[in-house]
Amino acid sequence: MTISFEGRVAIVTGAGNGLGREHALELARRGAKVVVNDLGGARDGTGGSATAAESVVAEIEAMGGEAMASAASVTDFPAVQKMVEDAVARWGRVDILINNAGVLRDKTFAKMELSDFQFVMDVHLMGSVNCTKAVWEHMRNQNYGRIVFTTSSSGLFGNFGQSNYGAAKMAMVGLMQTLSIEGAKNDIRVNCLAPTAATRMTEDLGARLDLDTLRPGLVTPGVMFLVSEDAPTRAIMNAGAGNFERTYVAYTKGVYIGSGDDAAERVAAAWDRISDREGEIVPESGAAQGMNEVQSALKAQGKA
């Protein structure tokens, strides 16, 4: 089966360089019309220029594709709305949104200014919210949409000096979980990508990275699947160096403790059993946790 995007319209944020550029070029190669969004700022989010986006548009046009540039900041909702309206005015629809734009302002939490924490949250979380909100009704009305949020191992598993980035990236997962449920009836499929790639966002790692093995283009095939017609939904895909894995948010079967003056002590004593991952559960929604807990309690009490 060949994945084709003929007749589809895609928006890729942060597409002037790195991962976003690779995603945009491959979408175009496979037939999509692409909005190349990039503020053109520095890695920490300062400055701005349309040059990066325009350069990628020129690459797409040189291969015979159709594209338009946008220098809208994802933190500016009216500008994002106009970007989407311009795409709809030109091509009639928006089918795909890849939320890739991001910034870094790394420091330990002890040394980090709250303004740097807030700014990273604004770009990653609210930037993704803004772009998704701007396309949501279009996708609902056409009963079709594919959305990818870019999460990170720093959010899923933690990374020293990246409390702001990690918090924002884990928020992508929570956003995906709910929007995938809300979008299901209109065939809006929502997934997360956790990429590993050598880009300007990771350049400080320098010699620790094998630049060829971790080139951004090796992540893009996974993204193409996540925004394809046969895409899954509510998936967290990890990708890097040509490898693709999946992360699950799961919880253990647990142990019934009940109440009593020594309940806390019994929790402590049972912690290893509580933590046993055999038979762990991947719930269909957040409500499943409460339902499973009630059923377990009733069973332990002989009421079920």
Q: Can you give the pTM of this predicted structure?
A: 0.92
Catalytic residues: 165
H/E element holding 45?
none
Return the pLDDT at 45.
47
Contact of 195 with 240, CB cutoff 8 Å: yes
Contact of 216 with 199, CB cutoff 8 Å: yes
**pLDDT averaged per 10 residues, the chain (length 304):** 97 97 98 95 54 95 98 97 98 98 96 97 98 98 98 95 97 98 98 86 51 90 98 97 96 96 98 97 90 89 83
3-state secondary structure 136-176: HHHHHHHCCEEEEEECCHHHHCCCCCEHHHHHHHHHHHHHH
| DSSP E strands, 24-102 | 33-37, 67-70, 96-99
Return the pLDDT at 108.
97
Residues 6+ apart with CB under 8 A from 62: none
Return the pLDDT at 46.
55
Burial class (CB in 10 A: 0-12, 13-18, 19+), 282: exposed
